[in-house]
Amino acid sequence: MLVVAACLLTSAAVAFFLRTRFTQELTPTQDLVLGLIYFMEQHDGRFPQSEAEFRAADFVHELDDGAIRIEAPPDTRFRKSTHGFPIADLTPFDIQWGVDMASLHVDERGRVRDADDREVSLIRWPASPNSGRTYSMVLLSAYREIRATPAP
């Protein structure tokens, strides 16, 4: 019985840790990816040149403490629901401001690369450096969809 109780307590602690990590890191990363897609959608596929340019977008709302919150623009063709989690600092997400999306391609292993054939991670979940591969594919796919469809 004592072993079962210890396992239950350990499981609860692990679940709490993972929930906190998800809320504080993965949720904001998902919102930032959507925010970058919204930006590209409003700028004919162009990736933001800087954090300041991104923060100035109409779907990025600055909070009193300087954190930001991403809210979907009403006319987006992409996912309209964001988590709305306050994001205090964009630095840990290692966003590659100013990248030329037109110069990117996907190699035979499914990795996004630039014109010099260097692997590119446009944004990443801070706890998982390899997450940048998936998020870069999502952003490149959105870019291609935006460029293939005339702006409304």
Asked if residue 1 is part of any domain, the answer here is no
The domain in which residue 55 lies consists of 25-148
Asked if residue 56 is part of any domain, the answer here is yes
Asked if residue 30 is part of any domain, the answer here is yes
pLDDT at 3 over 90: no
Asked if residue 19 is part of any domain, the answer here is no
Asked if residue 85 is part of any domain, the answer here is yes
Binned at pLDDT 50, 70 and 90, residue 24 comes out as low
Helix, strand, coil percentages in the chain from 3-state DSSP, rounded to 5: 45, 10, 45
Query: Taking the C-alpha atoms of 40, 46, 48 and 49 in order, what is their torsion angle to the nearest 10 degrees?
Result: 180
List, in sequence order, the alpha helices (H) in the chain. Answer: 2-21, 27-42, 51-55, 131-148
Average pLDDT, the chain: 85
What's the domain count of the chain?
1
pLDDT at 151 over 60: no
Asked if residue 120 is part of any domain, the answer here is yes
Give tens-digit pLDDT for 13-22: 444 444 455 4
Give tens-digit pLDDT for 25-59: 678 999 999 999 999 999 999 999 999 999 999 99
Asked if residue 16 is part of any domain, the answer here is no
Give tens-digit pLDDT for 97-108: 999 999 999 999
From the list 131, 96, 127, the residue with the least C-alpha distance to 24 is 127
Asked if residue 6 is part of any domain, the answer here is no
